Amino acid sequence: MLAANRYGKSRVRLVKVSRLGDRHQLTEVTVNISLAGDFERAFTAGDNSAVLPTDTMKNTVYALAKDHSIAPLELFAMTLARHFVSTHAQASSATVTLLETPWHRATVEGKSHDHSFLRGSEERATCVARVENGEESWTSGIEGLVMLKTANSGFEGFPRDAYTTLAETGDRLFGTNLSGNWWYSEQTDFLDCRSRARTALIECFSRHQSRSVQHTLHAMAEEVLTRCPEVSKVHLALPNLHCLLVDLSPFDLSNENEVFVPVDEPHGSIEATVSR
């Protein structure tokens, strides 16, 4: 029995250059498309009569990118999702995920350049547009926002058992690689909402008197809800990217929270969803 299925095209990469006279705009996105619906006979009988090729999905991204703006991501993603369900009745749902690679204008003699760009950090703006049985919905998000604070972070008062060796500390480094998503209760200005949400996350992370990753995660999610009334729910994942204090005592040196080893593994994984 075929209990569930979906298929589509992943990692469709697109660069669009828009030319407003000499001032060029550069946008790079990676697109994933996934369809679900009445595709059962493809699985069970090898009948491809309903199977829109994933190669066609890729072509559709490029063709629609020609006459539609990529920004805001949420509208281009929904344009794609609507296209697939409206032209292919066998698809009861289409899910389109966009992930934007940031490019910033180069600075030349103190001015932002017209047509030269530097790639930004590993932070990505993301969104998911979904049409499912006629209902449209969005989530927006951020991936790869790496932050580290060097004060106002501790971890104390935790339970100890036979395998606990961790020391309590009122002053540690707190590094993370944030992934987050938010849901909307109403249509909005997506770019403006993204800007408010991102600022909320960064400012709250920076200012919070953190007693744990959990504690700060919750405050950050609340701050997004406060600044973004159109957002109904926030999911955040804050891995704890540890910076371990180096023991310099064998060399007769003290280490007053100055010298650390950053480690990629293992790492703490903390996530939560906060809704109104």
Peptide bond into 262 cis (omega under 30): no
- Find tokens 């006279």 and name the residue: 21
In the residue annotation, 9 being an active-site residue is answered as yes
**Cβ atoms 202, 231 nearer than 8 A:** no
54 is catalytic: yes
Q: Concatenated DSSP letters for 22-85?
A: TEEEEEEEEEEEEEEES-HHHHHH---TT---HHHHHHHHHHHHHHS---SHHHHHHHHHHHHH
3-class DSSP assignment, residue 188: coil
54 interacts with a second copy by CB under 8 A? yes
Q: Which is nearer to a second copy, 61 or 78 (CB)?
A: 61
From the list 58, 83, 208, 242, the catalytic residue is 242
Q: Specify whether 242 is catalytic.
A: yes
Q: Which of 9, 58, 83, 208 is catalytic?
A: 9
End-to-end Cα distance, the chain: 39
114 binds a second copy (CB under 8 A): yes
Q: Nearest approach, Cβ of 187 to a second copy (angstroms)?
A: 23
Near a second copy by CB under 8 A: residue from 38, 136, 146, 226: 146
> For a second copy, which stretch binds (CB under 8 A), given 23-31, 71-79, 128-136, 188-196?
23-31
Q: Is residue 121 at the binding interface for a second copy, with CB under 8 A as the rule?
A: yes
Geometric angle at alpha carbon 81, from 77 and 82, rounded to 5°: 115
Does residue number 46 form part of the binding site for a second copy (CB under 8 A)?
A: yes
Give the residue with the Cβ less far from a second copy, 180 or 239. 239
Residue 192 or 263 having the CB closest to a second copy: 263
Do residues 35 and 7 lie in contact, with contact meaning Cβ atoms separated by under 8 Å? yes
- Region from 71-79, 125-133, 155-163, 186-194 binding a second copy, contact rule CB under 8 A: 155-163
User: How far is 90 from 264, CA to CA, in rounded Å?
Assistant: 45
Q: Is 14 in the site for a second copy (CB under 8 A)?
A: yes
The CA distances from residue 21 to 25, 48, 66, 115, 117, in Å, are: 10, 46, 18, 11, 17
Interaction residues for a second copy, span 193-232 (CB under 8 A): 202-203, 205-207, 210-215, 217-218
CB of 247 to a second copy, least distance (A): 9
- Which is catalytic among the residues 30, 54, 79, 101? 54
- List residues with catalytic annotation: 9, 54, 242
